[in-house]
């Protein structure tokens, strides 16, 4: 062979190496998205179609903050994807912008209670935010006063121009500010008594004059995890604050969560209530059209894409978040296919992908006992058993427990776990009468078998089961 045509052995990729230009190749196609971020739940749009009434209600309540008064507390209700958080953040941004315009000290502090779900964490996060703000304010003020003092020292300004009676008063003010700055100690995320965290937060928020709206998103998660102590403390603060005022805006997916609150907290918290109804398919189309104009390159969507996304999401109680996820995922699938347009087929594939992702997440986070029950159902289906009954599932479940050294639950408890899997949409279970033999549950799998089995076997405990086949042969043994 001519050596000049022989490829350089050092430059040629080995069998396990990626070829050069891997990403160059992927980047060679035309992008479909102009701005993908507008399709994510974290994006706050400048316009929220079909939520004008709720936005105006919020603004009418919160406008009192711009007059230096305390706004009423607000509770916002609505199912997932009805625009609650996006609307509340939009109104909050407008409130802060207007407060700066009119030089009124007013601010909104946002907390996601699904993440920050204990009284300690909520108070610590708020305390540290106000401590940071106070330290920044003090530092700025010290720089201004130090400059004034320098002007006095070099004779370029007189004491009358400083708003202080004399040089000693200016020095005292600087010393006090420096002492205040030293005293502000950040709250650690664990380790302090809760009453110390509360008093630190209280002193930080009351350090100077301001109206504060505390937005507690998914407030029901906070109450569910740690009771209503946080809400009780926050709702009664104003009677003790001297310089500042605090208002609470709670956002909840659960319309009944206030049933569990102390009556005093409930009456204080629910001074104003705003309900966000689900979107219908027409409203979802408007939302998707508005976002898609910003999200995609021109002429990217075929005409049936938005109506189909809206129709799928309308079936999910009018969930705009689901509709936006669908549209974004359809775009990503089209990009991977190297096509220039998004078609109906991409939306249908996106629907399947999102549903599978949901199933995978639900199955992955099931308790081990529920996973064993589900694995028993899968083993039966794999072996062609139809109309699977509770007794058959229980027999295999017992053997799986023995195999991995787990406690065996009673058949009644296993029946309860099957009902929970049915509620989650993982199995389809119906009660059937067996005449004089009583009643039993018959079930079948409602999710893709292979993917679900893979998720279960990824659990280290279930992965210990070497060979489950013999268990299926024994399914008709006496229980």
What is the gyration radius of the CA atoms in the chain, in angstroms? 31
Q: Cα separation of 334 and 345, whole Å?
A: 9
Residue 284: closest CA among 253, 270, 305, 300 = 305
| pLDDT tens per residue, range 406-439 | 999 999 999 999 999 998 889 998 887 767 767 7
Q: What is the CATH number of the domain that holds 403?
A: 1.10.10.10
The confidence score (pLDDT) of residue 473 equals: 58
pLDDT tens-digit series, residues 434-464: 677 677 788 999 888 888 999 999 988 888 7
82 marked among binding-site residues:
yes
As for how many domains the chain has, the answer is 3
H or E element that contains 295? helix 281-295
Residue 22 forms part of a structural domain: no
Asked if residue 44 is part of any domain, the answer here is no
CA-closest candidate to residue 377, choices 333, 427, 337: 427
- pLDDT value for 22: 67
Where do we find the tokens 């903050």?
65
- Does residue 388 share a domain with residue 336? no
Phi, psi (degrees; rounded to nearest 5) at 10: -75, -30
pLDDT at 1 over 60: no
Please indicate if the annotation marks 266 as binding a ligand: no
Question: Per the domain annotation, does 29 fall within a domain?
Answer: no
Give the torsion sign (CA, 141, 143, 149, 151): negative
Domain identity same for 396 and 344: no
Answer yes or no: is 350 within a domain. yes
For residue 476, the model assigns a pLDDT of: 46
107 and 228, same domain (yes or no): yes
Task: Look up the pTM and report it.
Answer: 0.77
CA distance 18 to 28: 17
Structural domain ending residue among the three candidates 310, 344, 361: 361
Taking the chain, what is the end-to-end CA distance rounded to the nearest angstrom?
A: 75
Give the domain-ending residue among 237, 256, 275: 275
Can you tell me whether residue 174 is helix, strand or coil? Answer: helix
Which of 343, 361, 379 finishes a domain? 361
| Whether residue 97 sits in one domain with residue 150 | yes
Model confidence at 479, pLDDT cuts 50, 70, 90, reads very low
Contact of 180 with 142, CB cutoff 8 Å: no
Residues 229 and 373 occupy one common structural domain: no
The verdict on 255 and 309 lying in the same domain is no
Q: What is the CATH number of the domain that holds 345?
A: 1.10.8.60
Residue 256 in marked binding region: no
Q: Give the Cα separation of 108 and 96 in Å (integer).
A: 7
Question: Within this chain, do residues 319 and 393 fall inside the same structural domain, yes or no?
Answer: no
Same domain, 207 and 229: yes
337 with 398, same domain: the answer is no
Element (H, E) at 430: strand 427-433
Residue 247 host element (H or E): strand 244-252
User: Quick one: average pLDDT of 236-244?
Assistant: 93
Strand pairing category for 244-252 and 210-217: parallel
Whether 84 is in a domain gets the answer yes
101 and 139 share a domain?
A: yes
Same domain, 290 and 380: no
Domain ranges, residue 436: 366-467
Arithmetic mean of pLDDT, 135-150: 93
Decide if pLDDT at 14 tops 60.
no
pLDDT of residue 12: 52
Helix (H, G, I), strand (E, B) or coil at 108: strand
Q: Could you say which DSSP state residue 17 is in?
A: S
**Is 476 part of a structural domain of the chain?**
no
| Higher pLDDT, residue 149 or 475 | 149
* pLDDT, mean of residues 366-394: 92
Q: Is the pLDDT of residue 141 over 60?
A: yes
pLDDT in tens, 304-362: 999 999 999 988 778 899 999 999 999 999 988 888 899 999 999 999 898 888 888 99
Annotated ligand binding at 353? The verdict is no
Instruction: Calculate the dihedral angle through the C-alpha atoms of 50, 56, 62, 63, rounding to the nearest 10 degrees.
Output: 140
SS3 label, residue 216: strand
Residue 231 vs residues 22, 107, 127, 248, 278: alpha-carbon distances, Å: 54, 19, 15, 9, 27
- Same domain for 444 and 343: no
The predicted structure's pLDDT at residue 432: 79
Q: What is the pLDDT of residue 464?
A: 79
Q: Does residue 41 form part of some domain?
A: no
Give the 3-state secondary structure of 264-280. HHHHHHCCEEEECCCCC
Residue 279, marked binder: yes
Q: Do the domain assignments include residue 295?
A: yes
**Distance between CA 344 and CA 286 in Å, rounded?**
18
| Other residues' Cβ atoms within 10 Å of the Cβ of residue 458 | 12
């Amino acid at each position: 062979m001519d050596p000049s045509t022989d490829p350089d052995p050092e430059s040629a990729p080995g069998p396990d190496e990626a070829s050069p230009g891997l990403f160059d190749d992927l980047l060679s196609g035309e992008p479909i998205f102009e701005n993908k971020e507008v399709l994510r739940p974290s994006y706050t749009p400048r316009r929220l179609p079909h939520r004008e009434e709720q936005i105006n209600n919020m603004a009418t309540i919160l406008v009192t903050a711009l007059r230096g008064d305390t706004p009423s507390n607000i509770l916002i209700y609505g199912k997932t994807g009805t625009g609650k958080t996006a609307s509340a953040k939009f109104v909050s941004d407008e409130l802060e912008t207007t407060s700066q315009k009119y030089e009124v000290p007013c601010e909104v502090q946002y907390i996601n209670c699904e993440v920050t779900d204990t009284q300690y964490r909520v108070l610590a996060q708020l305390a540290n935010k106000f401590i940071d703000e106070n330290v920044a304010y003090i530092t700025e003020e010290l720089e201004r006063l130090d400059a004034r003092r320098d002007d006095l020292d070099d004779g370029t300004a007189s004491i009358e121009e400083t708003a202080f009676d004399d040089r000693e008063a200016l020095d005292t003010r600087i010393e006090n500010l420096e002492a205040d700055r030293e005293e502000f100690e950040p709250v650690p995320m664990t380790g302090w008594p809760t009453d110390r965290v509360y008093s630190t937060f209280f002193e930080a928020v009351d350090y100077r004059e301001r109206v504060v709206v505390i937005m507690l998103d998914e407030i029901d998660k906070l109450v569910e995890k740690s009771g209503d102590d946080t809400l009780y403390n926050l709702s009664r603060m104003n009677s003790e604050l001297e310089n500042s005022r605090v208002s609470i805006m709670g956002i909840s997916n659960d319309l009944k969560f206030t049933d569990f609150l102390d009556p005093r907290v409930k009456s204080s918290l629910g001074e104003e209530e705003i309900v966000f109804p689900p979107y219908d398919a027409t409203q979802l189309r408007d939302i998707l059209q508005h976002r898609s104009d910003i999200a995609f390159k021109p002429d990217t969507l075929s005409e049936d894409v938005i109506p189909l996304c809206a129709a799928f999401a309308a079936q999910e109680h009018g969930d705009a978040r689901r509709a936006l996820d669908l549209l974004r995922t359809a775009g990503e699938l089209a990009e991977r296919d190297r096509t220039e347009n998004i078609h109906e087929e991409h939306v249908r594939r996106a629907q399947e992908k999102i549903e599978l992702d949901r199933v995978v997440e639900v199955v992955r986070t099931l308790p081990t006992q529920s996973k064993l029950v589900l694995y028993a159902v899968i083993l039966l289906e794999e072996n062609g058993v139809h109309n699977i009954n509770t007794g058959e599932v229980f027999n295999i479940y017992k053997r799986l427990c023995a195999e991995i050294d787990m406690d065996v639950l009673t058949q009644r408890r296993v029946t309860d776990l099957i009902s929970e899997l049915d509620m989650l949409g993982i199995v389809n279970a119906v009660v059937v009468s067996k005449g004089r033999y009583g009643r039993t549950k018959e079930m079948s799998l409602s999710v893709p078998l292979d993917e679900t089995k893979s998720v279960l076997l990824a659990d280290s405990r279930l992965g210990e089961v070497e060979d489950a086949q013999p268990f299926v042969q024994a399914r008709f043994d006496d229980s």
